[in-house]
Amino acid sequence: MSPADQTTSAGTAETPLRVWLEADGALLRLRLARPKANLIDAAMIAALDAALAAHRDHAGLLGVLLDAEGPHFSFGASVEEHLAAQCAAMLAALHGLVFRMIDFPAPILVAIRGQCLGGGLEVAMAAGMLFAAPDAKFGQPEIRLGVFAPAASVLLPERVGQIAAEDLLLSGRSIDAREARTIGLVAAVADDPAEAALAWFSANLAGKSAASVRYALRAARGEYAPRVRQGIARVERLYLEELMTGHDANEGLDAFLAKRPAVWKHA
């Protein structure tokens, strides 16, 4: 970090995100700071949303790098917050963060080590380019709990195509960094993904006009962003009004928390 860099907050129990500026204010750094799980829970969602909101209008901002402390990027969302009493508020907050990310006026790069699952992968996909360590694992395991991943149901087909997306969403399996690169989920695999992302920023964004980058990103996402918004609104209704009114979704979540096998009624 150069002398001109500014640390704006550090991760704590209350604020699970480290936030600072680098490259004379041209690069915003966001670091999930609640290892090893780095859960995408209400506190983490709120912290990410607030950091992006606070820096949205920073005139010289050329990019964002999101990474994580510890061996894993994120184990995903809080299962407790998916229970029927809380899931509407949880989805509203998470999807609000997704919308802020896809509309953010500077490219968001993500560096990933270890597990990147569930809500963690949804947050990563709402960003831009993903840089992964060879040990990284990616998956949407929600189906194993009797539910599905609303944001990923829209973001994954946009990124990797319908067939590869359905493979991951219906199986709940995880894939390694090499397979993620092959299907187009990951832009690059590197031993140090944060350094690879920083190198990409330095080679491709540093020194450019922030205004021009902002307009170029807006142009590139002109059709994509509305599709994601409309798609997520549709699947959020499906999740809340249909899936969560049935037996199996609630049984799967309860069984996971109770550490027992689920008893499906296929309803």
Residue 204 lies in a domain: no
Beta partners for 175? Answer: 138
Domains in the chain: how many in total? 1
List the one residue out of 152, 130, 134 whose CA is nearest residue 143: 152
User: 3-class SS at 147?
Assistant: coil
pLDDT of residue 117: 98
Residue 1 lies in a domain: no
Residue 167 pLDDT level (bands cut at 50, 70, 90): very high
Strand positions, DSSP E, the chain: 6-9, 17-22, 27-32, 63-68, 108-112, 115-117, 130-132, 137-139, 174-176, 188-189
Task: Write out pLDDT tens, residues 225-267.
Answer: 999 999 999 999 999 999 999 999 999 999 999 999 999 999 9
Which pTM value belongs to this model? 0.94
What span, in angstroms and rounded, lies between the C-alpha atoms of 46 and 17? 10
Residue 201 lies in a domain: no
Residue 44 lies in a domain: yes
Written as six digits, the tokens of 211 are 């205004």
Task: Write out pLDDT tens, residues 15-54.
Answer: 899 999 999 999 999 999 999 999 999 999 999 999 999 9
Residue 174 lies in a domain: yes
Task: Write out pLDDT tens, residues 173-206.
Answer: 999 999 999 999 999 999 999 999 999 999 999 9
Domain that holds residue 146: 6-193+209-258
Spatial contact of 32 and 74, defined as CB atoms under 8 Å apart: yes
Residue 266 lies in a domain: no
Task: Write out pLDDT tens, residues 48-84.
Answer: 999 999 999 999 999 999 999 999 999 999 999 989 9
pLDDT of residue 9: 52
- CA distances, 246 to each of 129, 144, 182, 241 (Å): 37, 16, 37, 9
Written as six digits, the tokens of 10 are 């550090």
Domain of 18, CATH number, reads 3.90.226.10
119: DSSP letter: H
Per-residue pLDDT at 4 exceeds 90:
no
Cβ neighbours around 199 below 10 Å, total: 14
List the one residue out of 176, 149, 159, 166 whose CA is nearest residue 236: 149
Strand positions, DSSP E, 23-62: 27-32
Spatial contact of 5 and 42, defined as CB atoms under 8 Å apart: no
Residue 56 lies in a domain: yes
Query: Which run of H or E residues covers position 216?
Result: helix 210-220
Residue 267 lies in a domain: no
What span, in angstroms and rounded, lies between the C-alpha atoms of 225 and 223? 6
